[in-house]
Structure 1
């Protein structure tokens, strides 16, 4: 009952000094003793369980039944082949699923929440899984609580505990409270913070008293550990497509069987053929192919610092038409440097290098307030915390006002944290026998609540003329693309509540700091524009500052393309949505405005990507089609609400992610069209032969073998095809666009029909060599075997060669580079080697009822196999010529 004990008692029991935290050695020892700080999930399926799950299909059951029947009637070889193909198919499915699962696990590892802890006397950011009992955890707004914690310090701390209590209103916390009643409800334990809850306001520190399954949330882990596997919209569409095609295939197979019955064919042989054709024709591998391509794609994206949390985001990325981006850190370098400061009628430049500079009294007071009203640190050239605050600490160092000395001399006793609506932060520090409030934030907001100004060391009433001077200088700084921050103070003889802090302040002055644009962003913005994507800047900064940087980066061309939060509030939702496309910069906006901006763009038919990093950004991230959180400066809340995390907080990464998303979608499309073409070719060949009362060109085992070769390696190789270099020169894909738009459906039908017809032609050539035709009666078995071997090679070979044509609907294989997709080359080579092995190795040839072809016939079947690829390449030439005209 940690909540019933005082903070010193808890620290003693946990054997930790709150000032320094645990040592690295002690933390490692405790981690080894108690294990990682994560909830136990459901046991994963074993490989055996996965294997059997891939056999749970009605057609597979029928095929297994057919194998049993073949055993009973003595056709042992056919039975073995059927079983081998079925089990090989299942094994390949297991490998695909296992790889996809591993890739997703790797992504989940990347998105593991981080926590701030004191270790070895330093504040460090570590994975929450590495938290141990006794760790001193630093809590600030926007972070998830990583374990059960007994608070030892709190300042206006509020924690949202709905995961445990069901109450959506955040609970106020006070580290000094003690609850002696052992039956105190969780919601009333105000001195505790619990795992998986969320700090929404203020800050605090606490000692970890329980981790993993020992936490309150751990006790109800079974409720939370629901096995939910959501399919992406694309997977759902393809699953539906698979079902429709499956019903069609089964209908065709039933029709084949009925026709064969009336034709008095061998019914058992036709039964096997029909079932094999159904297994081959139904694209049961589609969801698996999509899953593995998506998983491999997002793993590849993680290497370019775009961590995709939700697979549907990959599909949506290809349709993004608006990128709403924060300015600071995303479009700029997030390396703030104070270059100017201003006290009334006195503007000074800050030296770029060196320390020990002198300043007048009001200038010293200005810098002192900035340093004391900051939570950042800066030591040995390294800063932690908000870059703006780091820049203020560095400014103090230059004028011998070090953070460590000031924070030791003027101890903080209260604070009112930064709020995006107020755009202010205030602290209360002890100063001599009294206290002083230090406030920093937007100068226009400070001027609204200020009463006096410090001028030449004297406190004087703040006049309208003085306000105009401050605002005029601030605007001039903004015009120079500087970020402006004001400071003020108030003396008091007592500890006052946060509500009283920001009243009747004395203005000290302002500073101007610059955050230069990222060097690579300008090119990325140009690339986004060429891809039909409109980049938009959203910032809390001054309108002029934002517009200046937007012009420099190529986002906007004039100040008229910017609008402020105040102006947005003056417009109705309909008016704003009507004018939204004329704006490129949204300045002085709050997180609430972001939601309004997203919805306005969406009403105009746009697919919107929105970046965010704060607690209050969560609604806009959720409302956007793609919510993008900052990996470095982002809070756990924003990361939780997002679809994607930028590990480097860089705008360029968003553009790269969109490019990757477009290519991933295109690759999935290639794989699907290829599979449908191949399956259709098999159906055409068998159905036509039955319909016209010709001998069947392929046996059941041969169909299953070809399906095994062509539906796996080539399809996956197409799924990892190198990206189209010109994909970002095209407009965003319409999310409502059919999967078969742009002639893709026609290509699948024509390609499949051509493959099927060529298979029959090859079969005819094989019969014709021995003087028989398709309509001949009493064809000897050895002649049928030879003809079927030719059909067998052409059906597989044409599909393998055709995979090269599927890489692009317009570019030839030579434009793309014949060997640019090495995986596909290997897949095709392996496919042909397997085909050759089945034909040339005697026991396999006998098993599959095949035989070696003559040299001339090998030439014929290779020639036939190349026809679909050749015709497709010729069609592309005409398409390119038509496009030029």
Structure 2
């Protein structure tokens, strides 16, 4: 093969097969596919160059606060304070290193999520059909297409059966194009919109089915040719991050204003301008929570990565913020409440009803065999080596053939499909024209009532006879009994035909063979999940296309609904106005026989009543309901690519329980972010008060610039990150959903920040005063000895560090006192505490560092005072929780 440019739409199917050296029956071999991948490269648009780590590091230094610190470094060097300049420089570099780590970690998590949610392609290789990542495709691959799939590369179509593709991403035309594989064109400049024998990367199959050969991949596709016009940067900044960024800027302006005031006051008080400049700059850096947005990004990325391991892929990060507010889960029945593994349990023919569990292979009648053979031939599903593709109902029918001892492989090889009348919802039937040797047969499967309108005979004990009213009565009775037992029914009929039988004549004068009853068993884990959701104030609603009896049977079993009054069908919904539906929607727990269009109305009705709604979907037509829902959830196994791209979250196991787990995880992620934010703001407020009030009173500065920067690095950023990595509260699902418009300061949290900051500031000021008092001095005195000032600042330094470290433990749970949860359960926070204490000891006991930070070693009394004062904010916080708990 070569990379020469081809106008594939001008070439016939045989010419295309020949040029690509493709066997249309078996597809490429894996060895050939690997060889072609080396030649053509991966099937992906050229990614933007990843930013090197050193550039990420340098970007952390592009901040006006950092520029001021650099200025402080230069000033201290000119002043001869080389130790101070070195410490400030070290703090700058450490801050940049932490920021780099956060950005790289968040980026890797995002890349992993993007990879997990990338489109898949159904490809035939080595004669077997399987699903692979679209990036693995090469020219010559044989692709199977069905409704809902995103076209994974540019294809020359081989087969089209009512195949319609929406190509608006390329042509701007929203109306789907009907494709024709047999067409060829001579005009080499034919517009893309007119190339009916081609399918293009990133377009969407909206109806029908077909197959095609990959002719162009990656940057050689039509989308690839305009890739330079696309912005492929993945923007992950959420509304939450934007709010926090704005909050940080506002607080920063306030803090800088306070620092200017401090510098002004100090100037008029006659203090050393150089020293006060450094202190003011350091206080500005320490008081501005510039790490808020970065910490939130890390917590979000860690959280969504953990969620992906629990089968919930978050495609859009704002969904994490919304999850905690969900109070209505609207879920499909199939696959989410059930296993999505349809199982045939009953067969009915003119011979009578047979339970499959009791049917032995040696007792299978001709009617049973003929019924199963017809169901297999009238199917688009595949089942090879326990790997299945297609509709779960059709897969169950293939398994039925295996259970009764049919040779499916041999049957399919002996029978060739030469025409078909595809399934349509208006007919509720599908027919195929099958040739086996010289015999031609039509097989039709579908709803019993629709088939009964087209049958004139019945197959009875290897004989064909005229159907009687009694036969019709018996078949209908069997179908009704199966439906009452929550079984889905499917009937099969057939007739002898000619090769030239037109499509409109295929479904006339049929012979009825039989009826199968199948069920999709409920998942055992769903019932406890529904109960947990109810406990969390979340209402579960089942939405299904099944009959109301079938839906109610499953809903009752899972305790979603109690009686028929809680069931509304699609036709009944159509009779209600939007206002009536809005008034009554809260009375229903099951919506049966609904179409995807009904889902939009249901979601809007719930939302109109102030609910936050999660909606699941898997089909092409589910896109609108997934987009309009507060949380759109797509099925990862059975879901179409259209549904996945419209959704906020993808379930990789199609399990309802995963939705509840995701809501629980979402609540904990939000709570973790809230803990980090409240901790930072409380500590920053305490630092500002601890500096502002003494300086306003004319006292010496309680802390040096280097000490302030050390605290900002050690006891602000690290515990905040550790709080964000908390495992979460196991009882979070006992709380009611968070109100959608709640922020971090709702429900008394703002008051807590103010009081906590006030308390930390007060005890720090007290510690500074006490340092003078125990040595017989007052901070108002003139000519204070250097050792007295060192003593006071050492005590102040230790109290502020201990207060913040201990306070972080109390914030692990906003409601429970420490004795009601494992206070040491967060290993990251434990490590932060130990590291903080260890580093404080290093500063004090290593002479060079002790001199650099202008500290001295406290005596036993000093240590007791520092620890006693430092633990006060934690104790006060815990006491307030106990009183709040008693009130409630």
Instruction: State which of 611, 618, 631 in structure 1 corresponds to 2:636.
Output: 631
Q: Does structure 1 residue 372 correspond to structure 2 residue 393? A: no
Deviation digits for residues 60-83 of structure 1 (CA, Å, limit 9, x no counterpart) = 222222222222333222222222
Instruction: State which of 760, 766, 773 in structure 2 corresponds to 1:755.
Output: 760
Please state whether the residue corresponding to 1:627 is helix, strand or coil: strand
**Structure-2 residue corresponding to 1:59:** 65
Q: In terms of mean alpha carbon deviation, does 77-86 or 628-637 score higher?
A: 77-86
What CA distance in whole angstroms lies between the structure 2 residues aligned with 1:592 and 1:439? 28
What CA distance in whole angstroms lies between the structure 1 residues aligned with 2:436 and 2:465? 18
**Structure-1 residue corresponding to 2:718:** 713
Q: Does structure 1 residue 297 correspond to structure 2 residue 303? A: yes
Q: Does structure 1 residue 268 correspond to structure 2 residue 274? A: yes
Deviation digits for residues 38-88 of structure 1 (CA, Å, limit 9, x no counterpart) = 111211222222122222222222222222222233322222222221221
Deviation digits for residues 441-481 of structure 1 (CA, Å, limit 9, x no counterpart) = 3445555x646453645575897x87666544333212212
Matches within 5 A, 1:426-505: 426-430=431-435, 436-444=441-449, 446=451, 450=454, 452=456, 454=458, 456=460, 458=464, 470-489=475-494, 493=498, 495=500
Please say if residues 360 and 404 of structure 2, whose CA atoms lie closer than 8 Å, have aligned partners that are also in contact.
no
Q: Does structure 1 residue 323 correspond to structure 2 residue 334? A: no
Q: Does structure 1 residue 135 correspond to structure 2 residue 141? A: yes
**Structure-1 residue corresponding to 2:874:** 869
Q: Does structure 1 residue 194 correspond to structure 2 residue 200? A: yes
**Structure-1 residue corresponding to 2:3:** none
**Structure-2 residue corresponding to 1:218:** 224
Q: In terms of mean alpha carbon deviation, does 328-337 or 748-757 score higher?
A: 328-337
**Structure-2 residue corresponding to 1:699:** 704
Judging changes above 3 Å, is the alpha-carbon distance between structure 1 residues 19 and 431 closer, same or farther for their aligned structure 2 residues?
Answer: closer
Q: Does structure 1 residue 778 correspond to structure 2 residue 789? A: no
What CA distance in whole angstroms lies between the structure 2 residues aligned with 1:500 and 1:777? 110
Please say if residues 182 and 197 of structure 2, whose CA atoms lie closer than 8 Å, have aligned partners that are also in contact.
yes
**Structure-2 residue corresponding to 1:411:** 416
Q: TM-score, normalised by structure 1?
A: 0.95
Q: Does structure 1 residue 164 correspond to structure 2 residue 170? A: yes
What CA distance in whole angstroms lies between the structure 2 residues aligned with 1:421 and 1:818? 62
Instruction: State which of 225, 232, 235 in structure 2 corresponds to 1:229.
Output: 235
Please say if residues 115 and 127 of structure 1, whose CA atoms lie closer than 8 Å, have aligned partners that are also in contact.
yes
Q: Does structure 1 residue 513 correspond to structure 2 residue 518? A: yes
Judging changes above 3 Å, is the alpha-carbon distance between structure 1 residues 425 and 696 closer, same or farther for their aligned structure 2 residues?
Answer: farther
Please say if residues 450 and 462 of structure 1, whose CA atoms lie closer than 8 Å, have aligned partners that are also in contact.
no
Please say if residues 160 and 197 of structure 1, whose CA atoms lie closer than 8 Å, have aligned partners that are also in contact.
yes
Q: In terms of mean alpha carbon deviation, does 369-378 or 514-523 score higher?
A: 369-378
Judging changes above 3 Å, is the alpha-carbon distance between structure 1 residues 444 and 572 closer, same or farther for their aligned structure 2 residues?
Answer: farther
Please say if residues 570 and 592 of structure 2, whose CA atoms lie closer than 8 Å, have aligned partners that are also in contact.
yes
Q: Could you tell me how far 1:429 is from its partner in structure 2?
A: 3.1
Please say if residues 459 and 512 of structure 2, whose CA atoms lie closer than 8 Å, have aligned partners that are also in contact.
no
Deviation digits for residues 364-422 of structure 1 (CA, Å, limit 9, x no counterpart) = 55434322221123355554432211111233345565443443444222334445566
What CA distance in whole angstroms lies between the structure 2 residues aligned with 1:360 and 1:614? 37
Q: Could you tell me how far 1:820 is from its partner in structure 2?
A: 1.0
**Structure-2 residue corresponding to 1:102:** 108
Please say if residues 357 and 398 of structure 1, whose CA atoms lie closer than 8 Å, have aligned partners that are also in contact.
no
What CA distance in whole angstroms lies between the structure 2 residues aligned with 1:502 and 1:39? 47
Q: Does structure 1 residue 113 correspond to structure 2 residue 119? A: yes
What CA distance in whole angstroms lies between the structure 1 residues aligned with 2:65 and 2:843? 25
**Structure-1 residue corresponding to 2:4:** none
Q: Could you tell me how far 1:794 is from its partner in structure 2?
A: 0.9
Q: Could you tell me how far 1:105 is from its partner in structure 2?
A: 0.9
Judging changes above 3 Å, is the alpha-carbon distance between structure 1 residues 762 and 399 closer, same or farther for their aligned structure 2 residues?
Answer: closer
Please state whether the residue corresponding to 2:766 is helix, strand or coil: helix
**Structure-2 residue corresponding to 1:349:** 355
Matches within 5 A, 1:386-425: 386-399=391-404, 402-419=407-424, 423-425=428-430
What CA distance in whole angstroms lies between the structure 2 residues aligned with 1:445 and 1:224? 49
Instruction: State which of 17, 28, 33 in structure 2 corresponds to 1:11.
Output: 17
Instruction: State which of 586, 595, 615 in structure 2 corresponds to 1:581.
Output: 586
Q: Could you tell me how far 1:788 is from its partner in structure 2?
A: 0.9
Q: Could you tell me how far 1:601 is from its partner in structure 2?
A: 1.2
Q: Could you tell me how far 1:780 is from its partner in structure 2?
A: 2.3
Q: Does structure 1 residue 729 correspond to structure 2 residue 729? A: no
Please say if residues 160 and 199 of structure 1, whose CA atoms lie closer than 8 Å, have aligned partners that are also in contact.
yes
What CA distance in whole angstroms lies between the structure 2 residues aligned with 1:62 and 1:501? 83
Please say if residues 555 and 561 of structure 2, whose CA atoms lie closer than 8 Å, have aligned partners that are also in contact.
yes
Q: Could you tell me how far 1:516 is from its partner in structure 2?
A: 1.4
Q: Does structure 1 residue 24 correspond to structure 2 residue 30? A: yes
Q: Does structure 1 residue 548 correspond to structure 2 residue 550? A: no
Please state whether the residue corresponding to 2:372 is helix, strand or coil: helix
**Structure-1 residue corresponding to 2:566:** 561
**Alignment: residue pair count:** 880
Please say if residues 110 and 301 of structure 2, whose CA atoms lie closer than 8 Å, have aligned partners that are also in contact.
yes
Q: In terms of mean alpha carbon deviation, does 491-500 or 622-631 score higher?
A: 491-500
Where in structure 1 are there 5+ consecutive unaligned residues?
none
**Structure-2 residue corresponding to 1:537:** 542
**Structure-2 residue corresponding to 1:622:** 627
Q: Could you tell me how far 1:433 is from its partner in structure 2?
A: 6.6
What CA distance in whole angstroms lies between the structure 2 residues aligned with 1:417 and 1:839? 82
Q: In terms of mean alpha carbon deviation, does 162-171 or 349-358 score higher?
A: 349-358
**Structure-2 residue corresponding to 1:590:** 595
Q: In terms of mean alpha carbon deviation, does 719-728 or 669-678 score higher?
A: 719-728
Judging changes above 3 Å, is the alpha-carbon distance between structure 1 residues 611 and 866 closer, same or farther for their aligned structure 2 residues?
Answer: same
What CA distance in whole angstroms lies between the structure 1 residues aligned with 2:156 and 2:83? 70
Deviation digits for residues 336-374 of structure 1 (CA, Å, limit 9, x no counterpart) = 22122334694333345653543355x555434322221
Judging changes above 3 Å, is the alpha-carbon distance between structure 1 residues 791 and 353 closer, same or farther for their aligned structure 2 residues?
Answer: farther
Please state whether the residue corresponding to 1:339 is helix, strand or coil: strand
Instruction: State which of 611, 615, 627 in structure 1 corresponds to 2:616.
Output: 611
Please say if residues 393 and 402 of structure 1, whose CA atoms lie closer than 8 Å, have aligned partners that are also in contact.
no
What CA distance in whole angstroms lies between the structure 2 residues aligned with 1:497 and 1:217? 39
**Structure-2 residue corresponding to 1:204:** 210
Please give the root-mean-square deviation of Cα atoms over the aligned residues, in Å: 2.4
Q: Does structure 1 residue 741 correspond to structure 2 residue 746? A: yes
Judging changes above 3 Å, is the alpha-carbon distance between structure 1 residues 519 and 421 closer, same or farther for their aligned structure 2 residues?
Answer: farther
What CA distance in whole angstroms lies between the structure 2 residues aligned with 1:848 and 1:499? 92
**Structure-2 residue corresponding to 1:252:** 258
Q: Could you tell me how far 1:286 is from its partner in structure 2?
A: 0.7
Judging changes above 3 Å, is the alpha-carbon distance between structure 1 residues 588 and 436 closer, same or farther for their aligned structure 2 residues?
Answer: farther
Q: Could you tell me how far 1:683 is from its partner in structure 2?
A: 0.5
What CA distance in whole angstroms lies between the structure 1 residues aligned with 2:692 and 2:587? 58
Q: Could you tell me how far 1:215 is from its partner in structure 2?
A: 1.5
Please say if residues 151 and 201 of structure 2, whose CA atoms lie closer than 8 Å, have aligned partners that are also in contact.
yes
Q: Could you tell me how far 1:333 is from its partner in structure 2?
A: 1.7
Please state whether the residue corresponding to 1:563 is helix, strand or coil: strand
Please state whether the residue corresponding to 1:645 is helix, strand or coil: strand
